[in-house]
Amino acid sequence: MVAIPQRSVPSRTDSLLFEAKAAVLRALRLAREAFAAERVTRHRRAVLLAQAPVLARVASPLWSNFTGTKDRQLTAGKVQNLRHALKGLDGIEVPAGEIVSFWKQVGRASRGRGFVPGRELREGCLISSVGGGLCQLSNALYEAALQAGFEIVERHAHSRVVPGSRAQLGRDATVFWNYVDFRFRSPYAFRIEARMSRDQLEVAFRGFGPAGSAMLQEAPALPGLEAHDCTSCGRQDCHRNNPDRALHAGLPTAWLVDAGWPEFTALFKATARKEDALLRPARLPGSARYAWPTGLVDTEKSAPVATLRRSLDLRGASGGSLQLKTMAADERLAAAYAARLPHTHIHLMVAQNLLPHLWRAGVLQGRSFDVLMERLPLTVLQDRLDAAVRHHPESPTLADFRASDAIVAAEAAALKAADLLFTPHAAIAALDPRRTTLLDWAPAKPLSARKGGRTVLFPASALGRKGAHALREAIQGLDIDLAVKGHARDCPAFWGNLPVRLLPAGETPAEIAAVVLPALVEHQPRALLAAIAAGIPVIATPACGLAPQPGLTLVPEDDAGALRAALKAALG
């Protein structure tokens, strides 16, 4: 049996010499690149090969069983670094015969570009270093290139073996800015797709060339060549010694929120922990819209510039213009949160309006997340509105806004990947009952009216999505006084000669026979909850999100006959 010599402990002088040597090698690499006969360029994203056959696919796990707090932080740092690196690789298409360079695509891993400390293998040790962990991506690219039969132009093996890594199988390709690169090419054009799911890094190549038939050789690790991890090797005489700390139970969660619905703020109060983070639009004194509880978590951040711009942009907007400006404002707020989000928070609670934008930006890659559902999914919402347009083509408001296909697809993909959904809306919860937690609607302040009389309150505007067309048909010939809260309408003469009166702002009739809201879309039925709290009968559709209960009559959407019968019963 061969004795393995005791490994010497790296000194500070060794580290300084390493940095000096690396600086010289970087300069030499730059000089060689400047005068190279074959120039290596940075490839751009395209969609020409998006539907081409898959030539190779490689997946590797992102997470392991954490041994302590620092282990989790460094692993989270690796995942954050991969998020940034993937931006330079995912979706690029490479012409036939051209070289792909890892560093040309990724760029230097610096703090200024958003890279953070992760594990890096240096001089036989796994140390904490900005940009650490990128070798998981270069390893995956190397193995995919082997599978596809591509030409390997430059590849360097690791000097030590990390247990469980590709190095144990001889399929590793280490990288170190900029002189240790990984480069490859193909005789035919191909596309790279490099993404992260919650648990895995996934790399795939697409193209129309023949799939490779390279045999992947396994090379077991040599005895004594395993890397030392500075958080666990126990060498206290080493200046890099960085012993781990006990791991806190549970994952630190970041709450990326918007409007402070009372149901969601109650959930935050009940479940948030000190190590969590709260990212909210702004902290405005006296504003109920952003009234998220303070002092419950260690980290609180806001985005006042994005919030102020949203307020200014939405002032005076209406209809489709309002919806488009709202979505643009959501995207800016999501970008502001992404810039402030601690990379150590690997589980998120996300407001639904921010979800598609965070998904498209790659913020959710490598993380688990739950969603605070404030409205129907865009796919369902737009299908319902499209069906309503076919039934009421005269309505200009049912078709005044649709999200782009990219946003709809992004939200659908993100909702599919989410762990749990939270909502107080019964109709939204019914779409996916297995994953959805149905919250209780917050107690409402009772409506300042008493039950009685012939007045029926419609607490909305005369718009198609609020069920105004069915209501107009249902009240024909009824002995009724319809009081309408909102002043907007599908057309100026929407109500015609019907017994309808528009209420001044802030006014509520003293006596009400029933409150009616036959909406096709309604996400916050606050007026209905206030009426039920006051003991006033409510007539609504399931789309309003209320579960069956005393005092509530549910009628089908867009069913004037059922609505008329319910109104007759309420009027006695």
Q: What is the mean pLDDT of residues 187-215?
A: 87
The helix or strand, by DSSP H or E, that contains position 56, with its residue range, turns out to be: strand 54-61
Q: What is the rounded distance in angstroms from the CA atom of residue 296 to the CA atom of residue 397?
A: 42
**Position 124 confidence tier, pLDDT thresholds 50, 70, 90:** low
Least confident stretch, 82-96, 227-241, 470-484: 227-241
Q: What is the pLDDT of residues 223-264, one digit of tens each?
A: 445 555 555 565 555 655 556 455 555 678 999 999 999 999
CA 513 to chain centre: 45
Residue 173 has pLDDT above 90, yes or no: yes
Q: What percent of the chain has pLDDT over 90?
A: 72
CATH architecture of the domain with range 253-438: 3-Layer(aba) Sandwich (3.40)
Q: Which two tokens stand for residue 285?
A: 């004194």
Give the pTM. 0.88
First-to-last C-alpha distance (Å) of the chain: 98
450-571 topology per CATH? Rossmann fold (3.40.50)
For the ranges 83-97, 419-433, 493-507, 544-558, the lowest mean pLDDT is seen at 493-507
- 269-288 per-position pLDDT tens digit: 999 999 999 999 988 766 77
Identify the pLDDT of residue 218.
42
Is 450-571 in the same CATH topology as 253-438? yes
Any idea where the domains of the chain sit in the sequence? 19-229, 253-438, 450-571
DSSP 98-156: PPEEHHHHH----GGGT--EEEEEETTEEEEEETTTTHHHHHHHHHHHHHHT-EEEE--
pLDDT classification of 38: cutoffs 50, 70, 90 = confident
Residue with tokens 């900005």: 130
Mean pLDDT across 195-204 = 96
* Average pLDDT value for residue range 496-502: 92
Burial 298-337, CB ≥16 within 10 A → b, else e: ebbebbeebbebbeeeeeeeeeeeeebebbebbbbbbbbb
Cβ atoms 109, 131 nearer than 8 A? yes
What is the model's pLDDT at position 219?
Answer: 42
Bond preceding residue 241 cis, omega within 30 of 0: no
Query: By three-state DSSP, how is residue 361 classified?
Result: coil
pLDDT of 109 strictly over 70? yes
